[in-house]
Copies of this chain bind each other. A is one copy, B any other.
Amino acid sequence: MRLPMLLRDPVHDLVRFEAEEEEIVPALLDAPEVQRLRRIRQLGVTHLVFPGAEHSRFTHAIGAAHVMVRLIRRLREIHDELPFWQRLASDRARDALAAALLHDLGHGPYSHLFEEAIPGAPHHESWSLAIVRDPGTRVHQVLAARDSGLPERVASLISGGDEDSHDAPGASAYPLPYLAHAVSGTVDVDRCDYLLRDAHMTGVRYGLFDLDWLLRSIRFSPVGVGPGDGGPRLAIDGMKGLPAIEGFFLARRFMFEQVYLHKATRAAEVLIKAIFARAARALEDGTRLPFVPEAIRLASRKAPVPLGAYLDLDDVVVGAAFAAWESCDDPVLADLCRRLRHRRLGKTIAIYDAGGPGDEAAAIARVVGAARERTLAAGLDPDLHVYVDVAEDGGGFGDVAASAQAQLEVVFGDLRARPLAEVSPMLASLRNTPIRRVRVVVPPEIRDELAQALGGTPASAPVSALVSAR
């Protein structure tokens, strides 16, 4: 038990965990499963494009817990309107703080790339739950030492609080659904921290929204308070909070457009996927590779990965493997690893202006065909070097098909609750124009030649080429 804990943070300045209910945060922080997050970059390979983006999931976890401290303070200002059993008592607050800190615990290095590249590889959300529940982890022990039900309550919050979450089969519902949505929902502490942090570290200012005002604008929805209605929900105060919530979604949009779906970021991710895929195949084929982490070895064979082996995976271990593979017996894998180290990323041909699904498919086929041909001619394997990359984002407004509770609403003075998109033309427009970027990633060697062959692309176009689908 270490209190008070005061930290400095580049995003939130002074971060304090000082109240008794907050003691869970410093207690968990020293657990090796949490310390491991120091060795996993929040944004994977994005730092190859935005050099400043070197921050780890560890700082994000602390940031999310800090936003939860502030959100709890806000909810307590307004929870008097709730029946007392729905208020934010001290033990509920502790549940929420632990869940905020631990929500990303199961991420591995390049987690979704790893999952996509190796079919059947475990999903990071299920790892988070596994770590919280496994009596062998320090995280579990710290939680259980305080209250034997704490691990399960935290698991319930992490999985969104809904019984039927696909991420958390078997999780029981959390008694205060609004708290679960604060951990994982439309406007949750996870997003609040990562948008600000990623914007800050990449140096892209667009992700900055007004957290102070957003927190102040949160209120309870009058809907759902009746018996059987599932309890109160988080909502936005429509008289004051509209610009804050608009700013939040705009920030998210900009971050997707400028950073998360940036063409060079995607090209780097494609390279990582190629490395994982090639390594898995090499192992399958019996090629001896040096320094293969146990989890990768098992996943390659589609064998189950024990928790301990998974926790040994981090950027350091995977980075060391990539370095070692540069001189391994598989020349193709070695080449891919050297490309990563020297930042020789693929180039992208953007497919745009599609007249319709058919047109787009035809345009892709045309580019892919030409690219594969030239890639082969350059002595490279087209399966590893030519990718169709479809980057999409719907705006983060939540699944329309999701439970009504997960829909963020806006409440006005007259106590009417209305959907976000109905009260804000700006948000309606964001919702109706999801981002969709279709690109063909090709090896840099063939880029100029290919661009010329596709025609119409001037030599001066600095990085990518454009292909109209029409």
Which residues of A pack against B, CB within 8 Å? 6-11, 13-14, 16, 18, 30, 32, 35, 38-39, 47, 50-52, 54-56, 58-59, 62, 77, 200-206, 208, 210, 212-213, 216, 239-240, 243, 246-247, 250, 253-254, 257-258, 291, 312, 315-317, 319-320, 323, 341-343, 412-415, 425-426, 429-430, 433, 456-458, 460-463, 466
Contacts and interface: CB of A to CB of B under 8 A. Distances in A.
B254 A243 contact: yes
Given A257-B243, A466-B412, A8 B426 contact: no
Given A247-B206, A412-B466, A414-B458, A47 B51 contact: no
A206 B257 contact: no
A306 to B, nearest CB: 16
B14 A212 contact: yes
A463 B33 CA distance: 24
Contacts of A11: 52, 203
Contacts of A458: 413-415
5 contacts: A8-B50, A10-B202, A14-B216, A246-B254, A414-B458
A413 B239 contact: no
B414 A456 contact: yes
Contact of A32 (B7, B312, B315, B341): B341
A415 B54 CA distance: 36
A250 B13 CA distance: 20
Nearest to A259: B8
A39 B323 CA distance: 12
A241 to B, nearest CB: 11
Contacts of A466: 412-414
* Nearest 8 CB-CB pairings of A with B: A8-B203, A429-B429, A413-B461, A320-B320, A425-B433, A316-B319, A14-B212, A10-B52
A330 to B, nearest CB: 20
Number of copies: 4
Contacts of A342: 30, 32, 35
A420 to B, nearest CB: 15
Contacts of A38: 47, 51, 54
Contact of A58 (B16, B51, B320): B51
Contacts of A202: 8, 10
A250 to B, nearest CB: 6
A77 B18 contact: yes
Nearest to A435: B425
A461 B257 CA distance: 38
A240 B32 contact: no
Contacts of A47: 38
A339 to B, nearest CB: 12
Of listed A10, A47, A201, A463, residue having the most chain B CB within 10 A: A10
Given A51-B58, A253-B426, 11 more contacts: A8-B203, A10-B201, A13-B205, A14-B212, A51-B59, A206-B247, A243-B258, A316-B319, A317-B320, A319-B320, A429-B429
A312 to B, nearest CB: 8
Contacts of A430: 426, 429
A138 B307 CA distance: 42
A62 to B, nearest CB: 6
Given A426-B429, A433-B425, A458-B414, A55 B58 contact: no
Given A51-B59, A54-B56, A243-B258, A414 B461 contact: yes
Given A54-B54, A429-B425, A10 B59 contact: no
Contacts of A457: 413-414
Nearest to A315: B316
Nearest to A318: B316
B52 A203 contact: no
A204 B246 CA distance: 14
Contact of A7 (B51, B58, B320): B51
A354 B206 CA distance: 34
Contacts of A30: 342-343
Given A250-B250, A342-B35, A460-B413, A8 B52 contact: yes
A206 B14 CA distance: 13
A295 to B, nearest CB: 14
A202 B213 CA distance: 14
A323 B321 CA distance: 13
Contacts of A247: 206, 254
A317 B320 CA distance: 6
